[in-house]
Amino acid sequence: MHVAQDFQSIDSLYDFLYLDRSRLSAFMAQVFDDGVLTSVKKTEQTADGIHNGVEAGIPKLLKGASSAQSTNTTSQEMQFDSSWTLPLNVLDGLDQYGFIRRGLADTRIGQLRLTCGRVSVLDIKLLQNMWTPLLDFFVRQEAAGKSAKQIGALKAEYKSIGALIEKLPQSVQMYLTDHDGDQVWMTLNSEFMVINPDDLALKHGGHISGDWHVLGCVDALPEDDSPPPDIGSALASSMAEMLNAVRLAAGRPFNHYGMTPILIFRQIEKG
């Protein structure tokens, strides 16, 4: 094995934040005829030859020598976990066949896009668990110089926000602003996160440092804030308006793309 030589050819590594393995496997099965690679087995054999000299001493006048060659063979079998090659193989395969485009310009719904920028993460479950104990802290932070009436109104406002947060789905929301200024909203499945979202919140707060790459399927385009079209009955229209209000309060903003993320990673370069 030439491990050192293999390492010398590596220019960068990838640190994964999010991996949707089921979608990656589905794409890989469509791109590669052999399907999804799950493991690799490597067998090596080495042979050592040993030369033995044998002296023939009877009779002395006919004294001579003979030789014998023996071989020792050593076999070594190594099993490798290839599961972490899945994201890179899918990236290379999809890119090779032209299914991945960079950036968000001229995006159509259903396309795979690879974009890069700064991200913010909002963990709804963590907010739900922490909102009540944090309420008094928020009020104390803003209470300086305010009257009792103003403080009461502030408490009521935070309680109403907390009531809304309590009813939200326990998802992790991510906002990305790429280098062209385009904005993306997405939700993350906590089961696919390689880094615990609680750790991200405690380390970074709402904004994660550095540039992150996101590969995802675009499923919503930016819209204007004009009223949606009438969908039929008065009841259906009222329900649609309520859902639009929920979206405005806690979902994708009108001026953001919507994306279903498949891979989120950052590049680690040599020092």
CB 43 within 8 A of CB 75: yes
Contact 263, 19 (CB under 8 A): yes
pLDDT tens track for 94-127: 898 899 999 998 999 999 999 999 999 988 888 8
Alpha carbons within 13 angstroms on the beta-carbon side of residue 149 total 0
Q: Which two tokens stand for residue 23?
A: 């979608």
Structure-token pair, residue 120: 């913010």
Which tokens is 164 given? 């809304």
Whether this prediction's pTM lies above 0.75 is answered by no
pLDDT on residue 214: 96
Residues of the chain with pLDDT under 70: 1-10, 34-42, 45-73, 75, 80-82, 224-232
Write down all domains in the chain, each with its CATH number in brackets.
100-123+171-269 (2.40.50)
